[in-house]
Structure 1
Amino acid sequence: MPEDRQSLPFEPKGARKVGSSSGASDPAIRQEAIPRYVADRMARRVAVFTGLPTVAGMGVFVGSYLLITKGVADIAPGLTLAGSGFFFLLGLVGLSFGVLSSSWDPQPGSLLGLENLTPNVQRMRQSIKAQKQQSKTD
């Protein structure tokens, strides 16, 4: 009875239901949890918001090495470690931000996606709450 189910927290409004009259007999047509255009948008955002800080974190090592070997500056190893650790941590935050700032609408939204952050966090919380309630009833 797919027609009677409630929509999922992350399901876009107006999504086609599995079991509708046109796709009920075709097993190749299935409903995805995350639509393809949203997954592609998330992947691009994650690549940017995680990739750039990760490259910067590795660049701290290279930059420190070059500055020390050329005699330009005497940089403490702890400072190099702290600088690279900061950028790697920023990349970890960028991973979550890239996923949570993606628009679930067919339109891509703004460049940073800050307007999508609050609704997506609320959807995530609702989904976690629904999963916990479902696991308690099982």
Structure 2
Amino acid sequence: MAAEESDRTSLPFEPKKRQKPAKSKTQSVVKSQETSPAPKKQPPFTKEEMAIPEVVSQRMIRRVAAFCGIPTALGITTLVASYLLLIYAKIQLPPIAVLLVNMGFFGLGVLGITYGVLSASWDENRPGTLLGLGEFGANWGRMAEVWRETRKKNV
């Protein structure tokens, strides 16, 4: 039992201690230049300035729920309705028609996410219009301008 305990506590090999080579003066100068902290660039905006205001984010969420939720619910409804027509009314719709209608509604739901975010007014003090067509145009223009500036900086 004592032999087992000693086997557990001792390593199968003893690590060798390395001797450090003597440093020359040039190595210490290079080392100090590498480790000196570079001046950090301050970001143009703070996190608080970059954050989406609570009013605007709630507005976006409501619009996404409407513009994405309604088409998605209609897509699910088409599947249920085609099944019920087949079972109770013995009306068999062409499967490709059900598929295309379903894909169309789900596709509108995906586009509704983008439209919901871009059609919301990004101004805290202005709620925007019901459909948000004007806001969509303004916000799309802002996004496109940022993309152009980013592309110019990367080239």
With normalisation by structure 1, the TM-score equals: 0.73
Give the 3 Å change call, closer, same or farther, for CA 134–36 of structure 1 in structure 2: farther
Quote the sequence identity (%).
38
Cα displacement (A) at 1:32: 2.8
Q: Which has the higher helix share?
A: 2
The whole-number CA distance in structure 1 between the counterparts of 2:143 and 2:50 is 17
Which has the larger displacement, 72-81 or 120-129? 72-81
Q: Which residue of 1 aligns with 2:138?
A: 119
- Equivalence for 1:60: 78
Q: 1:88 aligns with which of 86, 106, 119?
A: 106
RMSD: 2.2
Choose from 60, 64, 68 the match for 1:46: 64
Counterpart CA distance in 1 for 2:73 and 2:88 is 22
- Give 4+ residue runs of structure 1 displaced > 4 Å after superposition: none
Superposed counterparts of 1:1-138, under 5 Å = 5=44, 18=46, 30-105=48-123, 106-136=125-155
Which runs of 5 or more residues in structure 1 are unaligned? 6-16, 19-28
Report deviation, 1:54.
0.6
Larger RCO (CA within 8 A; separation ≥ 6): 1
Deviation at 1:57, TM superposition (A): 0.4
Which residue pairs with 1:13 in the alignment?
A: none
1:35 Cα shift? 2.2
Amino acid at match of 2:111: V
Aligned residue-pair number: 114
| Structure with the greater alpha carbon radius of gyration | 2
